[in-house]
Structure 1
Amino acid sequence: MSQFDGDQPPPFEIAEPVTWRSPIIFNSPHSGSIYPEQFLSASRIDLAGLRRSEDSFMDELIGGLTDAGFPVVRVNFPRSYVDVNREPYELDPRMFTGRLPSFANTRSMRVAGGLGTIPRVVGDGEEIYRERLSVEDALGRIEQLYKPYHRALRRLIYKAHQTFGTVILVDCHSMPSTGIAPEEPRRSDIVIGDRYETSCAPQIPNIIDDLLRSLGYSVTRNKPYAGGFITEHYGNPASGLHAVQLELNRAVYMDERHCERGPRFNQVAADFLTLANALAAIPLEDLGPFRAAAE
């Protein structure tokens, strides 16, 4: 996309350590905050409203892990523009002029909620666009942003798997401190999603749960977030491919109203390093059917 050419950062970045400590990859697919001008012009919502859908600063919270030996993936374009945590063609036909391809998934629950690959609404349900988009625009975003990101992520996972015989993908997100319904209580500090014990070996969420509780966080599992497309698609424990999603309550580390880092920001970043070290201590033979590659 032209918005990410020249002086702009690339659409996504992969920061690999000089030496991998373990086959653990940290991924932040929803913290992108570079908004294309044409997108802002087409939106009926101002920038502050669009940013409510961001996992703001999550990429910064995990960014220091590369220096500790862990690869980190970050997406720079916003999820409200293209959501890489969806199937490649979860598209709402009501959003577009022209005919969608026959293979598009137009009936998923996420599409019905307005949160497909090209979202129709932001997180609180407000419509994004003034007018319908062309089908060509949607397919272009998928070809130029979505697909290259997933190709690069697959290559990184393959590299770890070939080297170590197993891999853990930690998909890092943040959530509003409360839901849309006013009667809903404040959410827990962390929600661990493992697709109801299907996307990773059970000891992985158990270790995360125990550690975070010991650090003072409140923790729940799979509700209201069990893990999205990335967790489901890349998690295959029988093959030594483990994926777990972490949803961090934004009130823990930031000022939600003003979209600013909060007083606990540095401590939360340090806690992510403690978590990474705990996962790196899991014996590789416990994580998959393959032995580590011979040195």
Structure 2
Amino acid sequence: MNTRPDWLQVHEGDAPLIVSFPHTGSDLPEDLASRFVSPWLARRDADWWVHDLYEFARGMGATTVRSAISRSVIDLNRDPSGVSLYPGQNTTGLCPLTTFDNQPLYRPGMAPDEAEIARRCDTYFAPYHDALAAQIARLRQRHGTVVVYDAHSIRSRIPHLFDGELPQFNLGTAGPSGAPDTSCDNALSDVVENLCRISGMPQVRNGRFKGGWITRHYSDIPGGVHSLQMELACRGYMSEPAPDQLDEHSWPTPLDPDHAAHLRRTLAQVLTACLDFATNRSAA
């Protein structure tokens, strides 16, 4: 009997690959919606359409884990202790109080207190990570080696978070730029980075986004779990208004399948490389 909440969507595949979608949701629970300044603002920073962009993953045998809840309610890719993943840099927290552009999310006096944050952890954070951990354990028993691929996207220009325009592909392996990876074997990340490079689109490894809590927490290289994060710039698959033209009438724009075709081909190659890596390591 399936006892998962409706907002938690798990598709079980047989291949040694898990694709995690912690930020693609836009649902606002009824008991929380009135606390936010506006529903649009509370949904605005979602990783729009990313689960649709990777719809081919299930056909490859991948397991997918997705939350339909907005990241403004709780960010499933943050350290539950509240420790910043990017010390010294602007970022948002476990239960964000502001948008990516540093605008207040909550009406006066409506921000979550410690008790409310704990409740959201119990209601949303724990079930998502229980499901993700269970899928890792299931596939680990079957294959020996598993790749956890954490799929994300973000607007190309957000001055509060980073300077200039973000590269199209932002590979995060929880390591300093130019240093050995810590969340996966370099043999995997080297191949992924090269596939992004030969696409002709800008790419970076461990740049502004080095991998969030999911990438860092679930990595267990000696135990056969290799994790990485891919943060995509939204411009690769949808139209983006200029930052000063962003409003509820201009954002989000639809996923553009024709525009996304080149990006999607590279992503299919990337997931194939992840699958090949896990399959070959398991066989060895």
- TM-score bracket relative to the smaller structure: 0.7 to 0.9
What secondary structure is seen at the aligned counterpart in 2 of 1:185? coil
| Whole-Å separation in 1 of the counterparts to 2:162 and 2:93 | 27
Is it true that 1:15 corresponds to 2:11 in the alignment? yes
What secondary structure is seen at the aligned counterpart in 2 of 1:254? coil
Within the candidate set 49, 62, 83, 1:57 is matched to: 49
What secondary structure is seen at the aligned counterpart in 1 of 2:19? strand
Q: How does 1:140-155 map to 2 (within 5 A)?
A: 140-155=119-134
What's the counterpart of residue 105 of structure 2?
128
RMSD over aligned Cα atoms: 2.6
| Whole-Å separation in 1 of the counterparts to 2:147 and 2:40 | 34
Task: Kindly state the Cα deviation for residue 169 of structure 1 after the two structures are TM-superposed.
Answer: 0.3
Aligned residues of 1:114 and 1:121 also touching (Cα < 8 A): no
| Whole-Å separation in 2 of the counterparts to 1:70 and 1:153 | 13
What letter is aligned with 1:71? T
What's the counterpart of residue 224 of structure 1?
208
Deviation digits for residues 37-62 of structure 1 (CA, Å, limit 9, x no counterpart): 33331112x23323331111111112
- Taking a change above 3 Å as real, the CA distance of residues 66 and 285 of structure 1, as seen in their structure-2 partners, is closer
State how many pairs are aligned.
Answer: 263
What secondary structure is seen at the aligned counterpart in 2 of 1:82? coil
Task: Kindly state the Cα deviation for residue 151 of structure 1 after the two structures are TM-superposed.
Answer: 0.6
What's the counterpart of residue 41 of structure 1?
34
What secondary structure is seen at the aligned counterpart in 2 of 1:203? helix
Aligned residues of 2:170 and 2:203 also touching (Cα < 8 A): yes
- Taking a change above 3 Å as real, the CA distance of residues 16 and 37 of structure 1, as seen in their structure-2 partners, is same
Moved more, 117-126 or 272-281: 272-281
| Whole-Å separation in 1 of the counterparts to 2:88 and 2:94 | 8
| Whole-Å separation in 1 of the counterparts to 2:237 and 2:169 | 12
Moved more, 264-273 or 153-162: 264-273
Moved more, 121-130 or 178-187: 178-187
What's the counterpart of residue 186 of structure 1?
165
What letter is aligned with 2:55? G
Deviation digits for residues 69-124 of structure 1 (CA, Å, limit 9, x no counterpart): 1111111001111111112232xxxxxxxxxxxxxx5x876799562221111111
Within the candidate set 256, 259, 262, 1:264 is matched to: 259
What's the counterpart of residue 151 of structure 2?
172
- Structure 2: segments with no counterpart, 5+ residues: 176-180, 242-250
What secondary structure is seen at the aligned counterpart in 2 of 1:264? helix
| Whole-Å separation in 2 of the counterparts to 1:57 and 1:239 | 32
Percentage of matched positions with identical amino acids:
26
- Structure 1: segments with no counterpart, 5+ residues: 91-104
| Whole-Å separation in 2 of the counterparts to 1:134 and 1:251 | 36
Within the candidate set 61, 64, 84, 2:76 is matched to: 84
Aligned residues of 2:27 and 2:68 also touching (Cα < 8 A): yes
Moved more, 251-260 or 138-147: 251-260
- Taking a change above 3 Å as real, the CA distance of residues 266 and 10 of structure 1, as seen in their structure-2 partners, is farther
What letter is aligned with 2:276? A
Moved more, 144-153 or 178-187: 178-187
Is it true that 1:70 corresponds to 2:72 in the alignment? no
What secondary structure is seen at the aligned counterpart in 2 of 1:255? coil
- Taking a change above 3 Å as real, the CA distance of residues 235 and 170 of structure 1, as seen in their structure-2 partners, is same
Is it true that 1:205 corresponds to 2:189 in the alignment? yes
What secondary structure is seen at the aligned counterpart in 2 of 1:274? helix
- Taking a change above 3 Å as real, the CA distance of residues 188 and 109 of structure 1, as seen in their structure-2 partners, is closer
- Taking a change above 3 Å as real, the CA distance of residues 182 and 149 of structure 1, as seen in their structure-2 partners, is closer
| Whole-Å separation in 2 of the counterparts to 1:111 and 1:156 | 34
- Taking a change above 3 Å as real, the CA distance of residues 192 and 109 of structure 1, as seen in their structure-2 partners, is closer
| Whole-Å separation in 2 of the counterparts to 1:201 and 1:207 | 10
Deviation digits for residues 139-177 of structure 1 (CA, Å, limit 9, x no counterpart): 211101100110110000011111111111000111220
Within the candidate set 75, 95, 116, 1:118 is matched to: 95
